[in-house]
Amino acid sequence: MVVTIIKRMLMGAAALGLVLLVWGLVEPYFIDVNEEEATIENLPPEWEGKEVAVIGDMQVGMWMDNTNTISRISEDLAEMDPEAVLILGDFIYHPGENAETNLDKVKEVLRPLTETDIPVFAILGNHDYAMTKKTDKPNMKAANSVIQALEEMDITFLQNESVALQLNDAQEDGEPLYITGLGSEWPSNVDTEKALRDIPDNAAKIMMMHNPETFSKVPADTAPLAVAGHTHGGQVRIPFTPESSYLTFAKESEVHADGWIEDYGEKGNQLYVNPGIGFSHLPMRIMAPPQITLFTLSSS
């Protein structure tokens, strides 16, 4: 009797494991469009109700990379026609002999978006520097190749700097929304003081960063909406435990995997972590589908 029960339990566990494996290979082809409302202090009236989209972590060049889904996301963004698209870095998985080929892929999959008039802003992630861990030496040649590719696509690259974004239909005296892009965390390129230097006091802003760890360095009341990537939403989440993923057990430090992160960072700042599109290590996602985060902006 006991042996029979154990056999059935093992068979059930094996069946569940097989289902999860198959689903993990299928889920990356589903696109989650997550609509969120973001409150930004001092938002100009003309920006009320406008939309800004966020994506990241494409990881082009990894085996079985998710380029088909990236192309579909680009097409979806072009159709959505937000006021801006923010891309949170990790365009390529790892530079090497195929670096030029992978950057050509990036250009191709983003073409449906970059051929529109939608302003696109981008920062770099650790993989763009060929860094898979904090102690790796950053590959500046690789990073510069990514920056050059972004410029060729007319994507505005930001590194510790801010730009004023005007609405296409704004009057001459219309107030801008400032887009701030911070440098990448692992190459130790973060300089928040420099990034915020040219923004007027009390201006409305959105802050981009690749790694959620950077958020702890942002001064109070300077990031009413900050967006980060890097985590892939945990990539493989544990069923029936929505707050847990493999990162929960693999990382020694506190994990800020996806969505709005509560009780983190300085006063007056709010962080949203986008789950990204691509992969690390294994080409699968479980309960962490590729996401377009679409923020509707509000002053209250």
pLDDT digits (tens, 9 = 90+) for 255-278: 667 899 999 999 999 999 999 999
Average pLDDT over residues 56-74: 94
The torsion angles phi and psi of 52, rounded to 5 degrees, stand at: -130, 130
Helix axes 99-114, 140-152, angle to 10 degrees: 30
Q: In whole angstroms, what is the distance from residue 234 CA to residue 239 CA?
A: 12
Burial of 23 (0-12, 13-18, 19+ CB in 10 A): middle
| pTM, full prediction | 0.91
In the numeric block, which tokens belong to residue 290? 């590729």
CATH architecture of 31-298: 4-Layer Sandwich (3.60)
Question: Is residue 12 very low, low, confident or very high in pLDDT (cuts 50, 70, 90)?
Answer: low
SS3 category, 232: helix
Q: In this predicted structure, which of 12-21, 49-58, 99-108, 117-126 has the lowest mean pLDDT?
A: 12-21
Residue-averaged pLDDT of the chain: 88
Which pLDDT value is given to residue 24?
65
The pLDDT value given to residue 252: 47
Ramachandran angles phi, psi of 293, nearest 5°:
-95, 120
- Burial group, residue 98, by CB count within 10 angstroms (0-12, 13-18, 19+): middle
Q: How many CB atoms lie within 10 A of CB 105?
A: 20
Measured between alpha carbons, how far is 244 from 254 in angstroms, rounded to an integer? 12
Check whether 79 has a pLDDT greater than 60: yes
For the chain, give every domain's residue range: 31-298
240 Rama class: left (phi>0) / alpha (psi -120 to 50) / beta: left
Phi-psi region of 264 (alpha: psi -120 to 50; beta: other; left: phi over 0): beta
CB-CB contact of 218 with 269 (8 Å): yes
